[in-house]
Amino acid sequence: MERFRTLVTRGQAEWEIKKSRFIGHAYPALNEAEASQVIDRIREEHASATHNVFAYRIGPQPEMERFSDDGEPGGTAGAPVLEVIRRERLWNVVVVVTRYFGGIKLGAGGLVRAYSKSAMLAIQAVQTAWMAPFQRLTIMFDYPALGRLENEMRAMGCLIEKTDYQASVAMQVLVPKEKLMAWRELVADITAGQAQVSYQDITYHVANGQN
């Protein structure tokens, strides 16, 4: 996966249909434990609600998806919420939809529409950001190349995580994956091919110019 969306903030949206009150809650969650904490907290806050339906999607590496209908007919609640998350290309997100039953049944189709709308309204109430893959690596080079290399890498959108000044410069850098080839050419040019590069993991960060 090259890019995905995630939530930057958390939010809530509420609406009513046929006397049933729906409250959508959308939260960022980096892992399953965080998602579970959000679900437990909302269940506690809305202990008197008829249903607290949830869905979450963690990833993209590794991928994990879970949902619960919390007593609603199978396939009418949690699955539609998860489908909204998928359709919005969101990862690392948990959405809980609280329902206070108003006494009028909505039917299977009505429930699907109600839970889908509740999830969408909650997501629309929060700020999102696009995340892109970055290659983490360490580069070692001689001091004369330091100033120009720092400036050129920052202009390219690289993130300098750490710099150690010893006999030579050792710099830990995050390079946008899509610019890795151009980065190699840049480093070879500035250091006359003398830089030593060791590659680590792939991580995700906010993509420049995306929101």
pLDDT tens, residue order, the chain (211 aa): 578 899 999 999 999 999 999 999 999 999 999 999 999 999 999 999 999 999 999 988 778 999 999 999 999 999 999 999 999 999 999 999 999 999 999 999 999 999 999 999 999 999 999 999 999 999 999 999 999 999 999 999 999 999 999 999 999 999 999 999 999 999 999 999 999 999 999 888 888 644 4
pLDDT of residue 208: 65
The letter for the amino acid at 138 is T
CATH number, span 4-126: 3.30.230.30
pTM (two decimals): 0.78
Asked if 106 and 17 touch (Cβ cutoff 8 Å), the reply is yes
pLDDT at residue number 211:
44
Q: CATH number of the domain at 130-206, please?
A: 3.30.70.240
Q: Which residues contact 72 (CB under 8 A, 6 or more apart)?
A: 51, 53, 78, 99, 111, 115
Cα 11-13-18 angle, rounded to 5 deg: 160
Tell which residue, 114, 98, 117, has the closest CA to residue 106: 114
Say if CB 119 and CB 80 are below 8 A apart. yes
**Domain boundaries defined on the chain:** 4-126, 130-206
**Distance between CA atoms of residues 18 and 163, nearest Å:** 61
